[in-house]
């Protein structure tokens, strides 16, 4: 039995794909009302409207006991609390983080948190370019499964691959989690540039220099270059910085247009930008785009000033 914790857009999409592949799957939510509504309507009307839930997908507020893998598809800043509350049930099981970000209070990534909280379990992360709605509609997607234990990695890769989820494997958990976390920060910046109407050329420059920032921090923290250039890094950066399906990009677009953005929508890049800047400072690294995103979020500068700051930096070699 595979358990997916978090009946948000991503958790629901993964549960649909896995259930349709014939796996016994339980989709867990903390919310009794949401569970009743999903059971009745066979739809997650709040987070993934218009997509039917397979009849054989179980939906519950209780995590089924057993030994099957557990996918944690809750937002990054909530993951530690969720694990704390369910630690006894999760102990000894293979745990797969399905979130993208860096914890603000500790600057730790999801795999590091899993290892710290439940050291007896295998800790992995599933990440890469994939919109929940695309997965749920059965469209083809490719993801990266990172697990430091190569044998566990193979088992998880095999059990989570479905007709429309093609999963690649790596042991580089640092690279995989940082790629997914940092691309959201750059997507906010790309959205801001787009929202302000600064043009596709500016966005391409920003994505490229943003990628350089991602590499700078990730390589300094021990990531492998090929992970950053793979699905979880470059791949997800491209998707998120070019599609208004991305909430991080849409949030950035609102910033660029000086418009309000619905605060109930999950935008992982905002807290992660602050955590990233803190971590970069500890490493003695400059991350000017991330710094500009944080200053914009804090209302310290306007977009034009952010662009001027970036454009007036000392000229250097690429």
Ligand X SMILES: NC(=O)C1=CN([C@@H]2O[C@H](COP(=O)(O)OP(=O)(O)OC[C@H]3O[C@@H](n4cnc5c(N)ncnc54)[C@H](OP(=O)(O)O)[C@@H]3O)[C@@H](O)[C@H]2O)C=CC1
Ligand Y SMILES: O=C(CO)COP(=O)(O)O
Separation between Cα atoms, residue 208 and residue 228, nearest integer Å: 13
Q: Does 252 bind ligand X (CB under 6 A)?
A: no
User: Of ligand Y, ligand X, none, which one sits near residue 191, judging by CB under 5 to 8 A according to partner kind?
Assistant: none
Tell me the angle at which helices 173-195 and 247-257 cross, rounded to the nearest 10 degrees: 30
If 0-12 CB within 10 Å is exposed, 13-18 middle and 19+ buried, where does residue 197 land?
exposed
Establish whether 183 is a catalytic residue: yes
Is 258 annotated in a binding site? The answer is no
Q: Which of 84, 183, 257, 316 is catalytic?
A: 183
Is 130 annotated in a binding site? The answer is yes
Binder to ligand X among 61, 78, 106, 243 (CB under 6 A)?
78
Is 300 annotated in a binding site? The answer is no
CA distance readout (Å), 62 to 6, 9, 30, 86, 236: 12, 19, 8, 10, 32
Is 44 annotated in a binding site? The answer is no
Min dist. Cβ of residue 7 to ligand Y (A): 16
User: Of ligand Y, ligand X, none, which one sits near residue 66, judging by CB under 5 to 8 A according to partner kind?
Assistant: none
Is 10 annotated in a binding site? The answer is yes
Q: Does 130 bind ligand X (CB under 6 A)?
A: yes
Residue 45 is given by DSSP the state T
Cβ-closest position to ligand X: 8
Min dist. Cβ of residue 32 to ligand X (A): 10
Cβ distance 164 to 17 under 8 Å?
yes
User: Of ligand Y, ligand X, none, which one sits near residue 76, judging by CB under 5 to 8 A according to partner kind?
Assistant: ligand X
Separation between Cα atoms, residue 125 and residue 180, nearest integer Å: 10
Site string for ligand X, 36-75 (x = CB under 6 A): -----------x-------------------------xxx
Separation between Cα atoms, residue 76 and residue 276, nearest integer Å: 13
Min dist. Cβ of residue 62 to ligand Y (A): 28
Cβ distance 111 to 83 under 8 Å?
no
Cβ distance 158 to 77 under 8 Å?
no
Q: Does 9 bind ligand X (CB under 6 A)?
A: yes
Q: Report the half-sphere exposure of 168 (CA within 13 A, side-chain side).
A: 17
Binder to ligand X among 22, 31, 42, 258 (CB under 6 A)?
31
Residues annotated as part of the active site: 183
């Amino acid at each position: 039995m595979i358990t997916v914790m978090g009946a948000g857009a991503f958790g629901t999409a993964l549960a649909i794909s896995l259930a349709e592949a014939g796996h016994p799957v339980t989709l867990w939510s903390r919310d009794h009302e949401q569970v009743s509504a999903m059971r009745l309507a066979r739809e997650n009307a709040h987070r993934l409207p218009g997509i039917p839930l397979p009849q054989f997908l179980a939906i519950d507020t209780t995590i089924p006991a057993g030994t099957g893998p557990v996918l944690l598809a809750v937002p990054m800043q909530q993951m530690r609390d969720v694990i704390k509350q369910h630690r006894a049930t999760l102990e000894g099981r293979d745990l797969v983080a399905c979130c993208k970000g860096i914890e603000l209070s500790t600057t730790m990534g999801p795999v590091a948190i899993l290892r710290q909280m439940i050291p007896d379990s295998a800790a992995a992360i599933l990440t890469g370019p994939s919109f929940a709605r695309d997965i749920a509609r059965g469209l083809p997607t490719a993801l990266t499964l990172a697990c430091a234990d190569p044998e566990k990695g193979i088992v998880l890769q095999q059990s989570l691959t479905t007709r429309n989820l093609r999963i690649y494997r790596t042991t580089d958990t640092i690279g995989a989690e940082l790629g997914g976390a940092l691309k959201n920060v750059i997507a906010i910046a790309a959205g801001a540039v787009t929202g302000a109407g600064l043009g596709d050329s500016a966005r391409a420059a920003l994505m490229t220099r943003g990628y350089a920032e991602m590499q700078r921090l990730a390589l300094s923290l021990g990531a492998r270059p090929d992970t950053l250039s793979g699905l979880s890094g470059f791949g997800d950066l491209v998707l998120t910085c070019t599609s208004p399906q991305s909430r991080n990009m849409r949030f950035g677009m609102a910033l660029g247009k000086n418009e309000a953005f619905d605060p109930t929508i999950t935008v992982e890049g905002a807290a992660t930008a602050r955590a990233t800047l803190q971590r970069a400072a500890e490493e003695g690294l400059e991350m000017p785009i991330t710094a500009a995103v944080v200053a914009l979020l804090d209302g310290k500068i306007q977009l034009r000033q952010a662009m001027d700051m970036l454009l007036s930096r000392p000229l250097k070699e690429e």
